[in-house]
Structure 1
Amino acid sequence: MGEVIFRLAEKQDAPRLVEVIYDAYVTIRDLNLHWPAAHANLGLVEENIADNECFVLEVDHRVAATVTLTRADNPMTALSGLPFLKWFAVDPAYQGKGYGANLLGWVEENIIRDRLGAPAVTLATAEKHPWLLPMYERRGYERIHAFDPGNGDGTMHLLRKIVDRGLYERFSRQRIGQAASG
């Protein structure tokens, strides 16, 4: 492994991120899933960087992987009450080397748990994708909600990973209490 750096993406990273995301999302396009990232262009990537927290993992000063933490007004965040990750991608030249797992782990621990103080994090994926669900489940994510967006993608799954068990138990009790009183 070369020199690895975790950081927020900047506008000047957008052209490289378009390459990484496009190349990583080939299976998504082959499955005809309607995910914005699968067809992201420079403008959409720049908008993602400006509107969200887009993290990158660099290897020897080259972006190898990326994942985005959405803003609080995301519908998935509203549903779960938890931070939501999207646009996870690893350049195919760097796949199978642990870089994607390292980036997700870094974001889960340093950003979600330590900086935000959130008990868990969520993401969503399609049931018909051949390897994403098992990959996320191996990383400790569990299915918490299935839905059909009605766009031809079929069943989508919202997954959750608990990053702080004690905090999650308090969070769950509070959500149950709010539901009972609301």
Structure 2
Amino acid sequence: MSENYRLAVLQDAPRLQHVIYEAYVTIRELELHWPAAHADLALIQDNIHSNECYVLEKDGVIAATVTLSKGEEVKAVTDFPFVKWFAVDPAYQGAGLGDKLLTWVEQNIIRDQVGAAAVTLATAEKHPWLLPMYERRGYEKLYVFDFDNGDGPMHLLRKIVNPALYDSLQPGKDKQTIGSSND
């Protein structure tokens, strides 16, 4: 049984659409306004083209994915890289593949290639298990925001992936904006 980590290519879009759609059932049930939860093929292709979309293949089949954003989603709060669209095909859930992929991206991409001290991601407070899952993985709450779109409080989380580099950064690396909350 083989595992392979790699960047997605446009030809992966139909499989990625399936993985993300199936993995985001709870997001749709909670009526969260996350683009990935309703992504059509064109949006998946745009994500692959515009960002760094990583996949973990298990025996040649894409089982999990996560995207390193090239956008400006969190630049008002922090300069650290932002990951999004994390999903594991339900057929592969419980096998630790999501953990392996996220760890690989945190260490090999964020820490070693990008050279960042930390990584960020966001999740909804009302999701029943995502926030605790990320906290168990070492993510800490950095900032709370609400888009007033029915999603409720959203948490920007940070995980330090290079403690020595993080400690060497000047205070204030995480920008604080008016009305922010550091829980």
1:9-158 to 2 correspondence within 5 Å?
9-71=8-70, 73-158=71-156
Q: Which has the higher helix share?
A: 1
Which secondary structure state, in structure 1, belongs to the residue aligned with residue 74 of structure 2? helix
Q: Could you tell me which amino acid in structure 2 is paired with residue 149 of structure 1?
A: F
CA distance in 1 between partners of 2:45 and 2:140 (Å) = 31
| Structure 1 residues 19 and 163: alpha-carbon distance in aligned structure 2, compared to 1, 3 A threshold | same
Aligned length: 176
Cα deviations across residues 161-182 of structure 1 (Å, max 9, x unaligned)?
0001111122243638xx9xxx
Cα RMSD for the two superposed structures: 1.6
Q: Which amino acid in structure 1 is aligned with residue 164 of structure 2?
A: G
- Letter matched to residue 133 of structure 1: L
Deviations 1:67-108 (A, max 9, x none): 00001x422144211000000000000001000000000000
What is the TM-score normalised by the length of structure 1? 0.93
Q: Partner letter of residue 160 of structure 1?
A: R
Which letter maps to 1:34? Answer: H
Contact map agreement 1:77 1:84 (CA 8 A) in 2: no
Give, as a single letter, the amino acid of the residue that structure 2 aligns with 1:29.
R
Secondary structure, aligned partner of 2:116: coil
Partner-residue secondary structure (3-state), 2:86: strand
Aligned to 1:106, the other structure's residue is in SS state: helix
**Which runs of no fewer than 5 residues in structure 1 stay unpaired?**
none
Displaced runs of 4+ in structure 1, greater than 4 A?
A: none
Q: Give the letter for the 2:126 counterpart.
A: K
How far apart, in 1, do the equivalents of 2:42 and 2:152 lie? 28
Deviation at 1:149, TM superposition (A): 1.1
* Cα contact 2:78–2:173 (8 A) shared by 1: no
Unmatched runs of 5 consecutive residues or more in structure 2: 178-183
Please state if 1:162 is matched with 2:145: no
Q: Which letter maps to 2:77?
A: L
C-alpha contact 1:124 1:159 (8 A) present in aligned 2: yes
- Report the TM-score when normalising by structure 2: 0.93
Aligned counterpart, 2:171: 173
User: Which has the higher mean CA deviation after the structures are superposed, 142-151 or 83-92?
Assistant: 142-151
CA contact (8 A) 1:77 1:83 kept: no
> Aligned partners of 1:92 and 1:155: how far apart in 2?
26
